[in-house]
């Protein structure tokens, strides 16, 4: 089912990805998107949100560093994107860490229809209302089944859920897939999850099937990280970062097909 032709569509079409993101990862996300052939714009002034919603091919909202003005811009942009038919992706960074973050995410979910929500297990557990122990933006630990969390959030908010981890889990509430690729160095560099959200956005922008696009994005991204790690003499995060950017810039359908480990299933039992 997954032929990874969405990857080529991103390279061919160069989708405009509007990012309302956090100050920690803006540069890395922009460079990563440029590397894969997408066109990033990092903008958060509320005065231009409605106009940008008509121009962009996808909107990615990342709540990593919140403030009142930014939240207002997110809401304006998200609503305008929905009206314009532009898909919207949510990255609920650290949503379980504070009551303010939980409140903001609940408001965003109530006001905006998201094509996809991408986060770690702790973040999606917080949205699902499942007990989970997490510190800050870490994935943390919990006893709830990750597939159950994905199914619950996907069905409640009519979206595709992408839960990143050692094995990525993707679900639209009816279909499920697991991606068992990825370098162990990814969690050791700042913003690797945030960039993945933006990469997912770029795939969603050029593929009507959001579930399909999300699985291919996760697999392509994870496989690129494995190729980057192969180039390392010493497995250190500082050396890995530029090699990962280069791997994203040189990824291909053939390279991804050669290493992708995707387990696909129907309805979760």
Residues comprising the binding site for substrate? 42, 191
Binding residues: 42, 118, 164, 191
For tokens 């894969």, the residue is 36
Phi and psi dihedrals of 57, rounded to 5?
A: -90, -20
**Nearest one of 49, 73, 90, 72 to 201, comparing CA atoms:** 90
Burial letters 92-119, b for 16+ CB under 10 A, else e: bbbbbbeeebbebbeebbeebebbbbbb
Contacts of 151 (CB under 8 A, 6+ apart): 161, 171, 173, 176, 268
Annotated binding site for ATP: 118, 164
């Amino acid at each position: 089912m997954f032929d990874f032709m969405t990857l080529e569509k991103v390279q061919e079409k160069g989708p405009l990805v509007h990012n309302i993101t956090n100050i920690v990862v803006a540069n890395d996300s922009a460079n990563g998107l440029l590397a894969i052939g997408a066109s990033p714009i990092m903008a958060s002034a509320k005065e231009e949100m409605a106009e940008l919603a008509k121009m962009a091919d996808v909107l990615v909202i990342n709540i990593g560093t919140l403030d009142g003005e930014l939240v207002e811009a997110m809401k304006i942009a998200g609503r305008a994107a929905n009206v314009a038919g532009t898909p919207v992706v949510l990255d609920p960074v650290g949503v379980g860490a504070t009551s303010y973050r939980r409140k903001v995410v609940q408001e965003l979910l109530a006001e905006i229809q998201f094509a996809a929500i991408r986060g770690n297990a702790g973040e999606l557990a917080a949205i699902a209302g499942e007990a989970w122990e997490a510190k800050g933006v870490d994935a943390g630990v919990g006893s709830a089944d990750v597939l159950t969390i994905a199914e619950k959030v996907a069905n409640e908010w009519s979206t595709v859920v992408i839960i990143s981890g050692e094995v990525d889990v993707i679900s639209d509430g009816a279909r499920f897939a697991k991606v068992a690729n990825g370098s162990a160095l990814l969690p050791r560099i700042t913003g690797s999850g945030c960039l993945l959200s933006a990469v997912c956005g770029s795939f969603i922008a050029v593929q009507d099937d959001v579930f399909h696009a999300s699985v291919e994005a996760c697999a392509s991204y994870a496989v690129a990280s494995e190729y980057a790690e192969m180039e390392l003499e010493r497995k250190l995060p500082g050396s890995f970062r530029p090699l990962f950017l280069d791997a994203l810039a040189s990824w291909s359908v053939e390279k991804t097909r050669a290493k992708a480990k995707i387990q696909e299933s129907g309805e979760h039992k």
